[in-house]
A and B are shown apart, each in its own frame.
Chain A
């Protein structure tokens, strides 16, 4: 009885999953068709629909960015390129297009140039996706447990140098990878950056228009988000200037909203 019930449940689940998958598939191909026919608005709608199903795919963010770019919404385009890069920092297309889009902004800004060493470290760091590093750290943990088990079961009173040596190495790797996965997990959930979506926006010294104006920025400006207070957000520009701007004007660069 129980087995039958489970089997039915699994079957129902599978059919749902398959139907959902085929749904995204058709929407996706519709989106591509619309994009090719320069119906960017429709293409954007399709891609947005897929985004809302909760996919964590840099490619879909990139496509949305391209639609916005074609529609002339530079701020949104930059936001989605940045999101694509957040989901997959190795997405070269998104990086290239972001760089290009940044040349079109009124405020001069550029992706910082990094030294060779920094680049290599970043490349290694970016090679591991959050889930991959989580799996690797889990594997190392299981390795530690396995060696411990073997030591407990078989090595009573015998030479322990080799297993201890192996375990130390495993522990080091485990610490490294769990740190990487923690950072990636934090980065995944935190929203630290934003893009200006309106054509011009004034930054004030406090969360209201009554405060003094500190700066004026233009569409496509990327900045750090420090904190949010009601309708206002405290931001910091790349040049170190800080100020408050309206929440509505900000396109947040985050994977979870």
Chain B
């Protein structure tokens, strides 16, 4: 279904296209040369192009023709071009007549007209000059010979084909011949040629003295189009397009454009090569009548604008406060010499700060000088109150109706309220208003009191690092110690000996305070345990065994003291009688002296 629909659409479109294209038929006629000898022949081609061109069967030559028709052929060709996906079919049918002059003189080939489906189209007349001598081109026969030089390559002694300036030239076209002072005239320079061009370059740049010039177009690549110029077919190329506005009135000349052209000269014979020749061609100077602007009724606000313009203004305001900014934009739209008049000025107002206006000109279409000029004012309100933006007048001269026209904007009312912000002070060079309506912010009203020193610069900061590394060393030694205690009983005993001793001594102290006899037993056990731990002897050893070990160990020099104390203890422990508190305390003194001796070791 869908494809069917598409097909239908395509068919309808193509049908519509054929219907619309019926009228699009064009005709043109041209000759290969305009100057012929009496004995020469030339060809007249009548070319009909358009969608239905192939349906044209014949063309009537003018009744009164001063030439004999000695031959007639016709050909048709069609081409399809696809531009931006849009297909265009073009058919061209040509009727070619070979004509021979009847007499010497200047003749006109009258316009040839064709009536097709009720419409008549006509060609332009062609001027022919018939001379006694052969024209500056090879005769028909010779040309044929030259084209087929293979037939007789050795006897070819034709004169080298004349590369005349008539075949390549530059013309200037003006859009009007009479202008007002300051009014732009658009000059288009075209290069026309029949030859094969190898190279193309601009010659000396023309001197546009007395004109104000605006460049609209300059060709940057070579592209030719076929054109019919004065009855002959040429290849045509638009070289440059400029807008000129005259500074003074009077008769002026559009300067000529010079082009350096390298023309290819075809080979003359089999042994010859294609060669080239450099020629300089320039356009003719074209007179231009410049009328002075009428001085009568010239408005005061006229600053040189010529053309057709409209004036518009816009103001973006809402709830303006002191210190706020707004933009006032003036737009001049239309066709004319945009770059040559002074934009109307907004008068400076009191209590407003004006930044330099920003003026921009943009062209919609450069070739017909239509565009827009925008003048943007950035204004800052300085004081509160009611104000008015005055009207702005803009005058221009309209060359079509030859009258001055003055346009005017309406005045705007402005109300400025009191605000916090203040305006930007004077004295700044305004270069580019990019951040529109901006101003600096308000100052901070609170501050934190961060000192201006970084932690990196503080000694304390690095001290923390040092301590943490030291803690690592500490941890290492601590763990080593702990390990030793866990794995080595001897070491553990030695390490814990004083702890145990302390425990027993504390007990003993308690007993001595109460005058208890148990003082002796706990102090004796404490000391003996301490010594056995330190000397690494088993706890259950007898006193004599301990004494033997002490003799060889490090407590040798206090052996007597130990023996003495132990005897006191034994005696006290095994007497059934009570022991006086004083006795216990005096023995405690002895114990203390013994312990201090032990601890010294």
Contacts and interface: CB of A to CB of B under 8 A. Distances in A.
B451 A54 contact: yes
A21 B447 CA distance: 12
Interface stretch (A1-9, A60-68, A230-238, A243-251): A60-68
Interface string A140-177: 01100100110011001000000000000000000000
A208 interface: no
B447 A28 contact: yes
Interface string B282-321: 0000000000000000000000000000000000000000
A62 B461 CA distance: 30
A60 B447 contact: yes
B444 interface: yes
A195 interface: no
Contacts of A28: 447
B342 interface: no
B456 interface: yes
Contacts of A71: 425
Interface in B440-464: 440-457, 461, 464
Report, as a range, how many residues of chain B touch the other chain. Answer: 35 or more
Interface in B548-601: none
A138 B452 contact: no
B468 interface: yes
B454 A104 contact: no
A21 B425 CA distance: 34
B452 A54 contact: yes
A84 to B, nearest CB: 10
Contacts of B452: 54-56, 255-256
Which secondary structure characterizes the binding site on chain B? Answer: loop
Given A56-B452, A135-B455, A256-B452, A104 B443 contact: no
Interface in B529-554: none
A205 interface: no
Contacts of B147: none
A72 B425 CA distance: 7
Contacts of B428: 72, 74, 104
A42 interface: no
A148 B472 contact: yes
Interface residues of A, number: 53
A57 interface: yes
**Considering residues B425, B427, B440, B483, which has the most beta carbons from chain A within 10 angstroms of its beta carbon?**
B440
Contacts of A225: none
A35 interface: yes
A194 interface: no
B447 A57 contact: yes
Contacts of A216: none
Nearest to A64: B443
A224 interface: no
Nearest to B477: A152
B443 A63 contact: yes
A48 interface: no
B449 A63 contact: no
A130 interface: yes
A185 B439 contact: no
Contacts of B438: 96, 100, 103
A24 B446 CA distance: 11
A72 to B, nearest CB: 5
Interface stretch (B18-26, B181-189, B269-277, B429-437): B429-437
Given A21-B449, A145-B468, A138 B441 contact: no
Contacts of A100: 435, 438-440
Contacts of A41: none
B496 to A, nearest CB: 20
Interface string B460-487: 0100110011011001101100110000
Interface in A97-117: 97, 99-101, 103-106, 108
Q: Which 8 A-B pairs have the closest CB atoms?
A: A59-B444, A56-B452, A134-B455, A63-B443, A54-B452, A145-B468, A149-B475, A185-B456
Interface of B: 422, 425-435, 438-457, 461, 464-465, 468-469, 471-472, 475-476, 478-479, 482-483
13 contacts: A32-B445, A57-B449, A57-B450, A63-B444, A96-B438, A99-B435, A103-B434, A103-B438, A142-B468, A145-B469, A152-B472, A152-B476, A153-B479
Given A43-B443, A100-B438, 8 more contacts: A56-B453, A60-B447, A62-B443, A72-B426, A93-B441, A104-B430, A105-B431, A138-B464
